[in-house]
Amino acid sequence: MNFSSYVHGLPGSGGSRPFQLGGGVPIKNIERELICPICKELFTHPLILPCQHSVCHKCVRELLLLNHEDSFDAGSECSLPGSPGPRSRVPSPSMERLDRLARSGSISSPGWRRGSVTPRITTFPCPGCQHDVDLGERGVSMLFRNFTLESIVERYRQAARAAVAIMCNMCKPPQQEATKSCMDCKASYCNECFKFHHPWGTPKAQHEYVGPTMNFRPKVLMCPEHEMEKVNMYCEVCRRPVCHLCKLGGSHANHKVTTMSSAYKILKEKLSKAINYLISKEDQVKTQISHLEVLINETEENGQLAERRTNEHFERLFETLQERKFEMLRSIEQSRTGRLDQLRGQVDEYQGMLENSGLVGYAQEVLKETDQSCFVQTAKQLHTRIAKSTESLRTFHPVADPSFDEFVLDTSREETLLKELCFGGVPDPPIIDLSRSRVYNEGLVCWQLAEDTLATDYQVLEYRKLGVEKDEEEGSSRWCSTVPVYGPSTVVCDLEANSLYSFRVRSCRNSLYSPYSPEVTFHTPPAPVFGFLFNDKCGFSSERLTLSKLRDSVESVAGMAFLLAAERVQTGSYMGLDYIIGDTGISQGRHYWTFRVEPHSYLVKVGVASDSKLLEWIHNPRDSSSPRYDHDSGHDSGSEDTCYDLSQPFTLLTVGMGKVFIPKASISSATAGNDHGNRVLPMPQRIGVYLDYEAGRVYFYDANTMRCLYERQVDCTGTMYPAFGLMGSGKVHLEEFITAKRLSYM
């Protein structure tokens, strides 16, 4: 590559001659710098992302999908005439990942509101570096247009289609070829039209004009946040131009900034040094290219050699299989021939019995012999023949076994070995981590990589739904695969409710795949996952409850406040519950959430409650109360029997001391008499709650096995909230997957 000829064609490198593709610069070397990483075409109105990569304006809009209200006010223009039309798009891994994130909802926005039909999407991964790009509330309008790149692309287009001239925009047909373009009028003119529209002595005569171009860039770059302000500073933290209002009270108030002239000087000096360094290393680069070409040839030769050796190995395997096949088939044929000969001989023997009916007649005639010596002489041999036939009839059995059971071939072990046949560099399979994986309508599947010395390139997760009709061609349920995953976990979307799914994963290194991990199964809950955090405002008692910083766990501490309240407690009563609820209510639909209760917890109530009931609990606190006051107290008071059939605006299940207490009325009458074990169950590691608002019913599950522990009717006339009550020492953790989305919007 001729670096010097490339540099002389760049703007600002000395001289004003236009960018040329000649001078030894191959088109492909320039073009790959001018290709959008999403649409794989030349940039059209490129925007600079915060990570300094550029993407077409149209491509960013397509990624954000729902931001129809964002205006094209990037840089200094409120609108751009002649926006790019439809273009054919070439799929790419980055684009597929972005589309998948957009469909799955992984692209989120701080401005997203629960219940919104069209959530605003302002975050997406950069297709160049995969870092998350947050556009904030302003969306696309906060991005600067990359006018420098746009100008280079335009000059490249012109050089690539040098035979196509730019025509005058003012001429009447037939149009003349343009000789200059006015940057203020944003139009191209021939000589005559330019003189006519820019007469001497008028303000238009002072307009800036350049050679014929289709790229009209503004003379001054305006701030996208303060549209009437020019950018005159450079933020060293965000690495972008800003105006003085951004520094005074905007988002860059506490950032280090420098003047635009200083930033221009420093960056231009750095770029010039980098270019000069490349020019000085031209010989070194050529040497490295030669070395790479040698490596390419070696790779081609070694690849062909590996193919030949692999073919030879498989040919030897085929030959061995053919030999064993021939020997085994020959053994079967010999055994079959011998058995058939024996059976046919036996058939001939018995056929002779039928044909020798004259023997019986002959024997009858011998019996008529009266001379004893003559009779004995003849009858002895005859009796031997008849006795032999009689014995064959009495003890009949085939002389050969028609079964070939001893020739049944079990190749399962060999088939397993052949399936696991791999090269020496194939990685060991990863193992799916059941303790960290969570599956709802979306599934977070985690795995542990094999402990070998070489790192893998990526992993591929496959999953399928069990209990469905089998595929006619494959004879099994069809496996669905994720795109390559470059970490120890991934999220699977759009899983069906109340279904059983099987998952497996394998690693890839240098295009060699490991064997699959052992399959694991997960049962999805009966409803989509409901996300919320603990509410630290409504009725929250900071004296006796400790809330985590992220509001995803709450702990009841039996401290001084608890002891002081105990002075008022009468014998035979117990302390009141400290309630805490979720920060999001439910007014329709079906929802499911999970949590963990620490095994050491003394008493925890878990379930749902309506807004009206919560107000009653909060505004009428009881320091002490009778166990019979609480319908779902979990104590053996008998109150559950009287109120179970009544539809209450709340349902709370009692959990504590490593046990779950099932209310009496949910146990059948046949076993409720004195079987205490039916009502006291071991506390699951994870508890799930499923609320069907329209049906007015709530269910409690062992979230690990999806076994329903308890269900009952609930009055859903108001807004229902996840509710928790703690007494004494206890702690509740919300499931990470339940809080993940809520935390991402904070």
pLDDT band of residue 431 (cuts 50, 70, 90) is very high
Q: How far is residue 175's CA from residue 189's CA, in Å, rounded to a whole number?
A: 10
pLDDT of 353 reads 66
Residue range 133-147: mean pLDDT, rounded: 75
pLDDT of 735 reads 86
Q: How far is residue 144's CA from residue 72's CA, in Å, rounded to a whole number?
A: 10
pLDDT band of residue 114 (cuts 50, 70, 90) is very low
User: How many CA atoms are closer than 13 Å to the CA of 389, on its beta-carbon side?
Assistant: 16
Q: How far is residue 25's CA from residue 371's CA, in Å, rounded to a whole number?
A: 131
List CB contacts of 29: < 8 A, sequence separation 6 or more: 1, 6
Whether 691 shows a pLDDT value over 90: the answer reads yes
List CB contacts of 66: < 8 A, sequence separation 6 or more: 118, 119, 120, 121
Whether 162 shows a pLDDT value over 70: the answer reads no
Whether 312 shows a pLDDT value over 60: the answer reads yes
- Listing DSSP states for 6-51 in one string gives HHHTSTTSSS-PPP-S-TT--HHHHHGGGB-TTT-SB-SSEEE-TT
pLDDT of 277 reads 86
Continuous segment of H or E residues that includes residue 741? helix 736-744
Q: Give the mean pLDDT of the chain.
A: 75
| Span 409-418, pLDDT tens digits | 888 888 888 8
pLDDT of 199 reads 84
Whether 195 shows a pLDDT value over 60: the answer reads yes
Q: How far is residue 144's CA from residue 54's CA, in Å, rounded to a whole number?
A: 10
pLDDT band of residue 29 (cuts 50, 70, 90) is low
CB 149 within 8 A of CB 54: yes
pLDDT of 688 reads 94
Whether 641 shows a pLDDT value over 50: the answer reads no
Q: How far is residue 78's CA from residue 64's CA, in Å, rounded to a whole number?
A: 19
| Span 589-604, pLDDT tens digits | 999 999 999 998 888 9
CB 690 within 8 A of CB 701: yes
pLDDT band of residue 280 (cuts 50, 70, 90) is confident
Q: Which two tokens stand for residue 469?
A: 């009709």
End-to-end Cα separation, the chain, in angstroms = 50
pLDDT of 121 reads 57
Position of tokens 């009468």?
570
Indicate where the chain has its CATH 2.60.40.10 domain(s): 431-524
pLDDT of 665 reads 58
Whether 51 shows a pLDDT value over 90: the answer reads no
Q: What is the dihedral sign for C-alpha 523, 606, 553, 539?
A: positive
Report the DSSP beta bridge partners of residue 572.
Answer: none
pTM: 0.48
Position of tokens 């008499």?
673
CATH of 545-620+647-663+678-734 given 2.30.30.40, 2.60.120.920, 3.30.465.10, 1.10.287.130? 2.60.120.920
Position of tokens 């669905």?
480
pLDDT of 621 reads 55
Continuous segment of H or E residues that includes residue 235? strand 233-235
pLDDT band of residue 565 (cuts 50, 70, 90) is low
Higher pLDDT, 387 or 634: 387
Higher pLDDT, 614 or 488: 488
Measured CA distances, 88 to 32, 37, 41, 66, 67 (Å):
18, 14, 9, 21, 22
Position of tokens 């050529």?
286
CB 457 within 8 A of CB 510: yes
CATH of 431-524 given 3.40.50.150, 2.60.40.10, 3.40.250.10, 3.80.10.10? 2.60.40.10
Q: How far is residue 540's CA from residue 522's CA, in Å, rounded to a whole number?
A: 36
The SS3 call for residue 301 is helix
Report the DSSP beta bridge partners of residue 522.
Answer: 501
pLDDT of 161 reads 56
pLDDT of 633 reads 42
Q: Which two tokens stand for residue 165?
A: 């001239």
The SS3 call for residue 504 is strand
User: 143 phi and psi, to 5 degrees?
Assistant: -90, 145
pLDDT band of residue 255 (cuts 50, 70, 90) is confident
What is the DSSP-derived secondary structure letter of residue 267?
H
What percentage of the chain has pLDDT greater than the value 90?
17
Residue 330's CB: how many other CB atoms inside 10 A?
10
Q: How far is residue 695's CA from residue 586's CA, in Å, rounded to a whole number?
A: 13
pLDDT of 12 reads 38
Report the DSSP beta bridge partners of residue 180.
Answer: 189
Continuous segment of H or E residues that includes residue 56? strand 54-56
pLDDT band of residue 701 (cuts 50, 70, 90) is very high
Of 585, 591, 586, whose CA–CA distance to 440 is shortest? 591
Whether 191 shows a pLDDT value over 50: the answer reads yes
| Span 346-365, pLDDT tens digits | 887 777 666 565 667 777 78
pLDDT of 262 reads 87
pLDDT band of residue 82 (cuts 50, 70, 90) is very low
Q: How far is residue 488's CA from residue 432's CA, in Å, rounded to a whole number?
A: 9
pLDDT band of residue 544 (cuts 50, 70, 90) is confident
Report the DSSP beta bridge partners of residue 314.
Answer: none
| Span 204-252, pLDDT tens digits | 887 877 777 776 666 667 787 787 788 888 888 878 888 888 888 777 7
Indicate where the chain has its CATH 2.60.120.920 domain(s): 545-620+647-663+678-734
Least confident of 41-45, 195-199, 568-572, 654-658: 568-572
Residue 404's CB: how many other CB atoms inside 10 A?
11
Residue 274's CB: how many other CB atoms inside 10 A?
10
pLDDT band of residue 468 (cuts 50, 70, 90) is low
Whether 89 shows a pLDDT value over 60: the answer reads no
Residue range 319-337: mean pLDDT, rounded: 91
pLDDT of 562 reads 57
**Between helices 282-355 and 372-394, what is the axis angle to 10°?**
150
Residue 68's CB: how many other CB atoms inside 10 A?
8
Q: What is the dihedral sign for C-alpha 715, 720, 726, 731?
A: positive
What percentage of the chain has pLDDT greater than the value 70?
73
**Residue 493 CB-density burial (10 A; 0-12 exposed, 13-18 middle, 19+ buried):** middle
Q: How far is residue 746's CA from residue 742's CA, in Å, rounded to a whole number?
A: 7
Residue range 419-446: mean pLDDT, rounded: 83
Least confident of 274-283, 388-397, 492-501, 610-619: 388-397
pLDDT band of residue 109 (cuts 50, 70, 90) is very low
Residue range 172-199: mean pLDDT, rounded: 83
User: 384 phi and psi, to 5 degrees?
Assistant: -65, -40
Whether 698 shows a pLDDT value over 90: the answer reads yes
- Find the DSSP H helices in 496-610: 560-566
Q: How far is residue 608's CA from residue 631's CA, in Å, rounded to a whole number?
A: 14
pLDDT of 224 reads 79
